[in-house]
Amino acid sequence: MIPQGQSSSLERLHNVEQRMVRVVELSGAVMEELGNSQGPRAEAVAAHCREFMLYMKEIQTTLREEIKSACEYRPFEKCDYSARIANEICCKKLEYVIEKMDAMQLNMEQSSNGV
Render 39-74 in DSSP notation, one character per residue: ---HHHHHHHHHHHHHHHHHHHHHHHHHHHHHHH--
Cβ-contact 12, 4 below 8 angstroms: yes
Cβ-contact 94, 67 below 8 angstroms: yes
Question: Would you place residue 110 in the very low, low, confident or very high pLDDT band (cuts 50, 70, 90)?
Answer: confident
Question: Would you place residue 109 in the very low, low, confident or very high pLDDT band (cuts 50, 70, 90)?
Answer: confident
The pLDDT tens digits for 31-85 are 999 998 898 999 999 999 999 999 999 999 999 888 888 776 666 556 667 777 8
With a pLDDT cut of 90, the percent of the chain lying above it is 39
Question: Would you place residue 2 in the very low, low, confident or very high pLDDT band (cuts 50, 70, 90)?
Answer: very low
Distance of CA 31 to the CA centre of its chain: 20
